[in-house]
């Protein structure tokens, strides 16, 4: 007896859903004799769905496997090149279920049948942060008014402590003040309180020691604020200067934006262009997968990448670029529910069982755990293909 027919016999005997090796990816259902759930998965779309060495990986396949195991649903998997193709396959009845992180947009709701959403995700904009951007950002942080205000506040606090030290220690009556002059003596006090070394030599009273300790605390706080301020400003300036200042969607006007053909992102660009001023339309740069955008950004053939935040966050962690580091300039753009798609002919009872399983996995936190695990792939898995949905 051949292996596939042996699996049919085992399944019919009540041994549960049996999955064939990934090369054939076939399973036989246990609840309806002779029927097979035909499941389509978008290939090359990490971290949502991808196939490596014949093994399906990612959020969507993992979630589907748990649903099928929970509901004893056996199935036959097939790979599809894009979300558009797999959705059309469900509408035409070629497959029963489309598994992927499929955005449930208003336009798609009119054409397709969806499962209960298992997560919500939005779009994001990715740019490259180059060494030149970092240098400009650092200079921008140094010459900005915020840094001057922070330094001015520190110097003013130190000056007030200097005046207090002068009065508490009666420096106006000391012989060295008469000998060196008030300005020089006051400058020495200010220098010691501002820098630290020699603080024990400029005071003799307990109140003076309290002032020195206060100056020490002011220095620590000021140093921490300066480091934090420069870090935040450099990151903020870098984000703004990476291939142009991108603070909101209108900043994409006039730029070359990489976007996958037939995606929700491409639909958004068409919408933005209808409202853009004359001559300021976004110029879409069509790509097949999201990783194709990094060479375009490196070669200055595109200014930004628009895609699903989940995939772009994965690309930031795994993508390699010779010209800089990937950076998410915008996040959480127009979030939408994501779900699986059902064929019109899929029995309502089967669809309800799948929805119930999704609801249970969401409530128990399994979906969140799988998402967190898939968004950080192994360090060696950096050459995978990505695809915006």
Among candidate residues 123, 27, 132, 23, the one with its CA nearest the CA of residue 76: 27
Structure token pair of residue 20: 């064939």
Per the CB < 8 A criterion, the answer to whether 61 and 48 are in contact is: no
Peptide bond into 47 cis (omega under 30): yes
What does the alpha-carbon distance between residue 191 and residue 39 come to, in Å, rounded to a whole number? 74
Model confidence over 287-332: pLDDT tens digits? Answer: 877 878 888 988 889 999 999 999 999 888 887 666 678 889 899 9
pLDDT confidence of residue 175: 86
Q: What is the pLDDT of residue 247?
A: 83
Give the C-alpha separation, 154 to 229, whole Å. Answer: 14
Distance CA 376, CA 315 (A): 10
Question: What pLDDT, on a 0 to 100 scale, did the predictor assign at position 321?
Answer: 63
Q: Give the pairing type, strands 18-19 and 27-28.
A: antiparallel
DSSP 8-state assignment for residue 45? B
| Strand-strand pairing, 37-42 and 113-114 | unpaired
Residue 9, pLDDT score? 31
Question: Residue 1 has what pLDDT?
Answer: 41
Which residues on adjacent β-strands are paired with residue 286? Answer: 259
Confidence (pLDDT) at 262:
75
Q: Cβ(324)–Cβ(330) under 8 Å? A: no
Low-confidence ranges of the chain (pLDDT < 50): 1-31, 33-34, 240-243, 379-389
3-state secondary structure of 368: helix
Q: Which residues contact 133 (CB under 8 A, 6 or more apart)?
A: 238, 241, 242, 243, 324
Judge contact between 134 and 241, C-beta under 8 A: no
What fold does the segment set 3-121+338-374 form as a domain?
A: D-Maltodextrin-Binding Protein; domain 2 (3.40.190)
| SS3 label, residue 299 | coil
Q: What's the chain's Rg over C-alpha atoms?
A: 31
Q: Dig out the tokens for 129 from the structure.
A: 């942060």
- Are 16 and 72 in contact by the 8 Å Cβ rule? The answer is yes
State the pLDDT at residue 366: 93
* Tokens standing for residue 246: 């991108």
Calpha distance 378→365 (Å, rounded)? 22
Which CATH architecture best describes the domain 127-131+243-334? 3-Layer(aba) Sandwich (3.40)
The pLDDT assigned to 269 comes to 95
Which string of DSSP letters, residue by residue, matches 253-268? TTSEEEEETTSHHHHH
Query: Do 80 and 49 touch, CB atoms closer than 8 A?
Result: no
Give the C-alpha separation, 217 to 296, whole Å: 50
């Amino acid at each position: 007896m051949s292996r596939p027919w042996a699996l049919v016999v085992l399944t019919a005997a009540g041994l549960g859903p049996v999955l064939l090796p990934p090369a054939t990816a076939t399973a036989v259902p246990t609840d309806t004799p002779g029927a097979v759930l035909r499941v389509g998965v978008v290939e090359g779309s990490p971290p949502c769905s991808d196939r490596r060495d014949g093994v399906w990986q990612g959020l969507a396949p993992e979630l589907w496997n748990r649903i099928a195991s929970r509901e004893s649903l056996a199935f036959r998997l097939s790979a599809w090149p894009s979300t558009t193709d797999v959705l059309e396959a469900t509408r035409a009845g070629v497959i029963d279920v489309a598994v992927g992180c499929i955005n449930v947009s208003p336009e798609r709701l009119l054409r397709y049948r969806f499962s209960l959403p298992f997560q919500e995700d939005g779009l994001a904009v990715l740019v490259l942060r180059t060494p030149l951007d970092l240098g400009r950002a650092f200079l921008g942080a140094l010459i900005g008014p915020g840094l001057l205000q922070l330094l001015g506040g520190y110097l003013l606090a130190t000056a007030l402590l200097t005046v207090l030290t002068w009065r508490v220690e009666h420096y106006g009556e000391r012989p060295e003040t008469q000998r060196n002059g008030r300005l020089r003596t006051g400058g020495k006090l200010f220098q010691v309180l501002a820098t630290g070394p020699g603080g024990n030599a400029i005071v003799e009273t307990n109140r003076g020691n309290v002032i020195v300790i206060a100056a020490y605390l002011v220095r620590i706080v000021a140093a921490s604020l300066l480091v934090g301020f420069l870090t935040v400003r450099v990151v903020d300036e870098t984000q703004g200067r990476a291939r142009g200042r991108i603070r909101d969607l209108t900043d994409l006007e006039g730029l070359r934006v990489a976007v996958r053909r037939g995606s929700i992102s491409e639909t958004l660009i068409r919408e933005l262009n209808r409202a853009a001023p004359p001559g300021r339309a976004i110029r879409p740069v069509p790509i097949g997968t999201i990783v194709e955008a990094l060479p375009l950004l490196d070669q200055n053939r595109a200014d930004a990448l628009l895609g699903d935040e989940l995939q772009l966050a994965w690309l930031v962690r795994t993508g390699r670029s010779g010209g800089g580091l990937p950076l998410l300039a915008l996040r959480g753009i127009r979030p939408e529910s994501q779900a699986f798609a059902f064929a019109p002919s899929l029995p309502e009872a089967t669809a309800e069982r799948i929805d119930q399983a999704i609801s249970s996995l969401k409530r128990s936190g399994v979906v969140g755990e799988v998402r967190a695990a898939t968004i950080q792939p192994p360090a060696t898995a950096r050459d995978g293909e990505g695809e915006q949905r």
